[in-house]
Amino acid sequence: AGKSSAAAAARPIEGRRADYRFVGSVEVEIRRRKAEDIEYGIRDAWIDPRDIAEEEALTTLEGVNTRVTELATVQEKDTQDIYGVMEDAQRRQAEMFQRVEMLVDDSRYHYETGRLVDQEARCSREAWAHSIGLSSAVHF
């Protein structure tokens, strides 16, 4: 990573010899003029591509971190919404279970009440029949 990309590209191709000594001298000149004043007070600042790559990597990393944070926030909200729906469903299920239990208990009481009414009606018929029988016996 410490060697320049131009020097890496300056290797002989297929056994041919090439003289690329000028690459080193160009890089030295560029470094010397890195922040040298030129006309109109404008500074000629050399921007090292490695610095740009690092800045882009940081920007990309910040973007990824921001996106991951946003996704985590959305997922947390969705999870809370799902838990809310599940809690509502469980609450409604518990209410229905209580109503069914109440109806079952009421049906027992209604059955017992019906049985008592039937028994009372039977007793009343027997008493009426007995009173009619006595009344008939007295009148005949």
pLDDT at 1: 46
Rg (CA), the chain: 50
pTM, whole model, 2 decimals?
0.38
Q: For 16-51, b where at least 16 C-beta lie within 10 A, e where not — what string?
A: eeeeeeeeeeeeeeeeeeeeeeeeeeeeeeeeeeee
pLDDT at 45: 62
pLDDT at 32: 57
Residue-wise pLDDT tens for the chain (140 aa)?
444 455 445 554 555 555 555 555 656 666 555 545 555 555 656 666 666 666 666 677 777 888 889 999 999 999 999 999 999 999 999 999 999 999 998 988 899 999 999 999 999 998 888 888 766 666 55
CA-based torsion, 132, 133, 135, 139: positive or negative: positive
